Structure 1
C-alpha cells in the first residue's frame, strides 16, 4: 500500500490520529481497536458522517462531528453517539469541598482540580498554587501528575460574578481533554451558578449529564 505521507513527521502525525472508512457491515478491527484502547483516537467515516472516536483511561467518547456526507459512499454506519466516564461518577462530596474553598476565597476567584488515580480508582481534590487572584482575574497552573493519575475536572470560580467561559478559558482549554467547570454567584441567595463543558478533540461540548453523584442516605 502506498504511504499517505513521505515526510516522517507528517506520517507520525497521521498515525497519531488516523482516519478509517467504516466497512459496509459496520465491523472494523482497526476502529474497534481504538474503541477498546486505554488511550487513543481516530476519525471514522461512514455513510452517515464522520465520527471522532476518542479514548482516555477515564473517558470513552464517540462523537459525530459532521452531518451525513452528500456524496455516495459505500460505507457502513459510524454508530451511536457515546460519552461515558470510564472512571465512574465523581462523588458529590468533592464538589462540596470545592465550593467551600471557593466561598472562603471570596471576593477573589479560586481554582481546584479533581484528579483520579487509575490504579486504585480513587478521586481527590487538588487545590493548586495560585500565582495571582483578584475578584476578576485568576492565574493558576495544572498539577504535574505521575503515571496513571489523571486530571478529570478543571474548576475555577468567578466569585460573586456570573458563571461563563472567557476567551482566556477557551485558549487554555483548546488542546485539553477534561471536564471544565466555572462557578459563579457565590454568596448569592440564588447561587451558586455553574457553566460546564467537556473539552475534547479541540471542541467544547455540552455535558450530557452531571459528572457527580450523591450517595443515597
Structure 2
C-alpha cells in the first residue's frame, strides 16, 4: 500500500512509521521497530499511542496519548519502558566533571559523557568554550568519533540553583540525550544540586535520579 504520492513525504513516513497493534498474536513490524539499533516510530492501540525510540545506547517506549474514544479493533500498546542499553555510567566520571566545574567557578562550564559502542566504554569530552560568565555559556560541541554516542550533556550554573532555562529547552528540543544541570557549586550548606531529564522525541522526561553508578570497569 502506498501511503503518500510525494516521494519526500513517502520517505518521511517510511523513516517514522506508525503501526496498529494487533488484537492477538504479534506484529513483525512492531517487533522489528523495538529491536532496531536506531530509529523511531509510533504504535497505536486501544489504550493509546506509544512512541518507540531506539538509539544504540537507549531503548524508550513511552505512551504519548491515552486511548481513543471511538472503538478500535486493536490490542494494547502496553506499559512505558526505559532501558539504557549502554549500561550505567561510572560514577568516577561525574566526580571528574564536578572537579572541572569547580575549577571553572564562578563561571558556567560544560561537559559531555560519550559512550563507544564498540569498546563499551565511556569517556568525557570537554567542549571548546567561546564565552563563559556566571550566567552564560557559549561553546562548540565536540565532534564525535565513529560509533561514539553522546549520552549525557552536563552543564553548570555555578553558584546559582540548578534549573533548565528557556535557552536549554531550545537547545535540547531536537536532541536525544540525558541533560543534566548542576547548581549551587561551592555552597557548603546544600550544594551541589542536580536536575536530570531525558530529551527524546521533542519531549523532556524527568529522571528520578542521576544515571551514574559505582561499577568495576570504570573508564
TM-score under structure 1 normalisation? 0.96
Q: How far is the alpha carbon of 1:210 from its aligned partner?
A: 2.9
Over 3 Å counting, the alpha-carbon distance change for 1:26 and 1:44 in structure 2 is farther
- 2:149 alignment partner in structure 1: 150
Residue pairs, 1:116-195, within 5 angstroms:
116-189=115-188, 190-195=190-195
The aligned residue for residue 212 of structure 1 is 212
For normalisation by structure 2, the TM-score amounts to 0.95
What secondary structure, in the 3-state scheme, does the structure 2 residue paired with 1:35 have? helix
- Cα distance in 1 for residues equivalent to 2:13 and 2:144: 27
**For 1:98-126, what per-residue CA distance to the aligned partner results, in whole angstroms no more than 9, with x for missing partners?**
00100110000000000000001010111
Per-residue CA shift, 1:39-63, capped at 9, x if unaligned? Answer: 0111000010000000000000000
Distance 1:131 1:157 in 2: 16
Q: 1:50-88: CA deviations, max 9, x gaps?
A: 000000000000000001211111100102211110000
Q: Do the aligned residues in 2 keep the contact of 1:26 with 1:76 (CA within 8 Å)?
A: no
- 1:9 corresponding residue in structure 2: 8
Offset at residue 33 of structure 1 (A): 0.2
* Cross-structure match for 1:23: 22
CA RMSD for the aligned pairs? Answer: 1.1
Q: Contact between 1:90 and 1:211, CA under 8 Å: does it hold in 2? A: yes
* 1: CA distance, partners of 2:208 / 2:22: 29
The 5-angstrom pairing of residues 73-112 of structure 1 reads 73-112=72-111
Q: Distance in 2 between matches of 1:93 and 1:106?
A: 20
Other structure's SS at 2:199 match = strand
Superposed displacement of residue 26, structure 1: 5.2
Structure 1 residue 209 displacement after superposition? 4.3
- 2:203 alignment counterpart: 203
Output the CA distance in 2 between the equivalents of 1:157 and 1:209.
17
Q: How far, CA to CA, are the matches of 1:168 and 1:106 in structure 2?
A: 21
* SS of the residue 1:51 aligns to: strand
2:51 maps to 52
Unaligned runs of 5+ in 1: none
1:64 aligns with 2:63: yes
Name the count of aligned residue pairs: 215
